[in-house]
């Protein structure tokens, strides 16, 4: 199986590559459209800020390539957010427009810290990404912005209100949490993605 990890000079790439290695998969870190199109699976990890990430994607032409991919595609953390239409981050940023959501900053609330950082429980997880996972699986989050719950939502988490922890549209999947930092639950989700 050929697995490609999108290289747009964003953070968190090495930990995703190591997580794949632990599953016995050697992935290619690439920004080459031909390699991305030929891969059996594509992962799109992200850490950082939406406007900078979109600027990097546009500069490399990947903003035009990624939406045309037809194989299973997994956006991780910021990589999931970038699948939406718009983000409030950076004063308002147009995204890849693959899923019909707008990304908003968590609203301040008493006793609620932003960024949302640490372990949280998945709720209403459904679909093949979550096959074999415990109903109360815990995964690791680090983010200040989130997508609302909608028809595209595969799983949700709360901080304190519900938000999309995982999404899907066609071959495009996204997880707001870090699969590569989520222990056995994250490894299972990553393996389930590779098995799609």
Q: What is the CATH number of the domain that holds 96?
A: 3.40.50.880
Q: What angle do CA 129, 190, 149 make, to 5 degrees?
A: 45
pLDDT the model gives residue 175 = 98
Domain count, the chain: 1
| Confidence band for 10, pLDDT divided at 50, 70 and 90 | confident
Could you tell me whether strands 3-6 and 27-30 are parallel, antiparallel, or unpaired per DSSP bridges?
parallel
75 burial class (0-12, 13-18, 19+ CB within 10 angstroms)? Answer: buried
pLDDT in tens, 116-127: 999 999 999 999
**Higher-pLDDT residue of 179, 9:** 179
Q: Can you give the pTM of this predicted structure?
A: 0.97
Please say if the pLDDT value at position 193 is more than 90: yes
pLDDT the model gives residue 71 = 98
Is residue 159 annotated as a catalytic residue, yes or no?
no
Please say if the pLDDT value at position 191 is more than 80: yes
Best mean pLDDT range from 45-59, 70-84, 104-118? 70-84
pLDDT the model gives residue 109 = 85
CA torsion 175-159-123-79 (nearest 10°) is 0
Is residue 21 annotated as a catalytic residue, yes or no?
no
pLDDT in tens, 71-108: 999 999 999 999 999 999 989 999 999 999 999 999 88
Stated as kind and residue range, the H or E segment containing 193 is helix 183-195
The catalytic residue among 89, 116, 143, 180 is 180
State which residues form the domain around 98.
3-195
Please say if the pLDDT value at position 12 is more than 80: no
Output the average pLDDT for the chain.
Answer: 96
pLDDT in tens, 146-174: 999 999 999 999 999 999 999 999 999 99
pLDDT the model gives residue 160 = 93
Is residue 77 annotated as a catalytic residue, yes or no?
yes
Neighbours of 70 (CB within 10 A): 9
Is 96:172 a contact under the CB 8 Å cutoff?
no
Start-end of H helices in 42-163 = 50-60, 62-65, 78-81
The catalytic residue among 77, 89, 156, 159 is 77
pLDDT the model gives residue 130 = 98
First-to-last C-alpha distance (Å) of the chain: 12
């Amino acid at each position: 199986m050929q697995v490609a990890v999108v290289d747009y000079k964003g953070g968190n790439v090495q930990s995703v590559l190591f997580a794949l290695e632990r599953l016995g998969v050697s992935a290619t870190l690439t920004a080459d459209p031909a390699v991305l199109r030929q891969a059996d699976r594509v992962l799109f990890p992200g850490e950082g800020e939406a406007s900078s990430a979109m600027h990097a994607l546009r500069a490399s032409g990947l903003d035009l390539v990624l939406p045309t991919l037809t194989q299973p595609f997994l956006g991780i953390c910021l990589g999931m957010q970038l699948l939406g239409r718009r983000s409030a981050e950076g004063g308002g940023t147009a995204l890849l427009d693959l899923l019909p959501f707008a990304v908003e900053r968590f609203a301040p609330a008493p006793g609620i810290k932003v960024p949302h950082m640490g372990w949280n429980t998945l709720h209403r997880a459904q679909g093949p990404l979550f096959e074999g996972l415990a109903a109360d699986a815990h995964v690791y989050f680090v983010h200040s912005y989130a997508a609302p719950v909608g028809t595209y939502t595969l799983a949700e988490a709360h901080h304190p209100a519900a938000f999309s922890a995982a999404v899907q549209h066609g071959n495009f999947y996204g997880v707001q949490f870090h699969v590569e930092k989520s222990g056995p639950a994250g490894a299972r989700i990553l393996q389930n993605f590779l098995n799609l």
